[in-house]
Amino acid sequence: MATHSVQHRGRPFIGGSWEDAADAVAVTDLAEGGTFAEVAAASAEQADAALAAATDAQDAMRASTVPQRASWLQAIADGLRARKAELAEVIVREAGKPITSARGEVESAAERFERAIEEVRQLHGEYRRGTTAGHEGWQAIVRPEPVGTVLCIAPYNYPLSTAALQVAPALAAGNSVVLKPASATPISTAILAAVVHEAGLPDGGFNYVPGRGSEIGDVLTGDDRVGAIALTGSSGAGEHVARESGMVELHMELGGNAPAIVLPDADLDAAAAAAAKGSVKYAGQRCSAVSRVLAHESVHDDLVERLDAALDDWPLGDLFDESTRVGPLIDEDQADWVEELVTDALDRGATLVRGGERDGRVFEPTLLADVPQDARIVHEEQFGPVVAVTAVADADEAVELANQSDLALDAAVFTADYDTAMDVADRVEAGAVRINGAPSHGLGDIPFGGVKRSGIGREGLGMTIEAFVERKTVIL
């Protein structure tokens, strides 16, 4: 186990200066227990000041050139890599992520800043001529302009890489940024704030306001100085922000309940490996996690056996051990929720194949078979390391069951038949359907996002840059 060597006290960063606050939020050490760090909690007045600073910086950010922004983004990527070991340890402790996964998250964040450079260089305007009667002589220039200030609200599960997916496109497009991290995981983004500061942006171009959502959330989301809001979080949080915000661009990736449909002709070993990974990676605390496996009744039992074997590759353990692949849940409340859903499934007749035990925040990787279709775990987002397998009679029943959920971010289908795969992909209600693989959003080169209660808009570096600009038409 690594020694508790990283000590931090994060502070708000507003208008180019670090500020103290009267209150503080303790950050739990999910690797060793106790308190790992604390962050000065921004007050409502400081949240307002951050918006004011971002507004004041809009002219300077708007006047910056693409080469200038590219230099900032590259400096941020380089700065993150220079602090990779420190950031990885922080993510292990505050997010409970195994060290190998934490290192990968730091690299993903750095690469997202670099890829934003490539994407913003492709952001072009248009020249148009009038083509309707009476407008034959019109000429128009259509050009992209920044929306002004982007409020970025990052989640706890990927605290650094998701922040990068929001912040990098916002800066690339020439906007000011106010970043609000999750209260459970504010230290990795405090380091990001320091790295951004060192990159040399105009004062107020980037602001960091850690703190309690109950105290500063509505101050930030309900302010008309905000031009766009990027939020990754629960559907409930997204709905609240949508109610509080005004005439702003909403860019939200919210909850998911991804079904993995396994048909009789599927490669069952590959399906089992993908479903196991999709279900228990980061203890299932991912919006794109496989939440339910809808297996054809003819392969249900065989698939369950292979899933049981596949879960051997996902051991719990010391988060700093290179072989550990599953860690704790973020807090006791989340563990309570997962336990509640597992208990409900068992009470309704599901079979416990493995796991099911809990020790505080730690919930064993769990496999449930013969889960009834009316079990809550089939319809609700679990955010836990549970593989719940339900039998279906055919592809039609699988699609019908998949579409009963009001969460529709991702889905997967496993089959050897191209036509069947495309038919299921067409009929499943989801923002993305992965064929013969677990849902994955990658670095942002492929657009992703949900339908129903799973979000608004499509994320991805290029798509997000487009969301953070407005098109102005100048008619000659």
* Cα three-residue angle 90-92-98, rounded to 5 degrees: 155
Which is the catalytic residue, given 114, 119, 249, 287? 287
CA 214 – CA 368 distance, rounded (Å): 36
Which is the catalytic residue, given 105, 114, 119, 253? 253
Q: Which residue has the tokens 């996964």?
A: 101
- What angle, 0 to 180 degrees and rounded to 10, lies between the N-to-C axes of helices 84-95 and 66-82? 70
Minimal CA–CA distance to 257: which of 432, 431, 381?
381
Amino acid type, 420: T
* Cα three-residue angle 228-288-258, rounded to 5 degrees: 120
Q: 333 φ, ψ to 5°?
A: -60, -40
Quick check: 122 and 66 in contact, CB under 8 A?
no
Contacts of 224 (CB under 8 A, 6+ apart): 246, 247
Amino acid type, 77: A
Enter the tokens of residue 186: 């504010």
CA 454 – CA 449 distance, rounded (Å): 7
Which residue blocks in 315-367 are alpha helix, DSSP H? Answer: 332-347
Minimal CA–CA distance to 28: which of 287, 382, 334?
334
Facing residues of 14 across strands? Answer: 17
CA 124 – CA 144 distance, rounded (Å): 7
Quick check: 454 and 408 in contact, CB under 8 A?
yes
DSSP 221: H
Pairing of the two strands 139-146 and 469-475: antiparallel
Quick check: 470 and 147 in contact, CB under 8 A?
yes
Quick check: 305 and 311 in contact, CB under 8 A?
no
CA 336 – CA 322 distance, rounded (Å): 28
152 is catalytic: no
86 is catalytic: no
Residues in the chain: 476
Minimal CA–CA distance to 412: which of 274, 284, 277?
274
Quick check: 328 and 317 in contact, CB under 8 A?
no
CA 291 – CA 368 distance, rounded (Å): 12
Catalytic residues: 253, 287
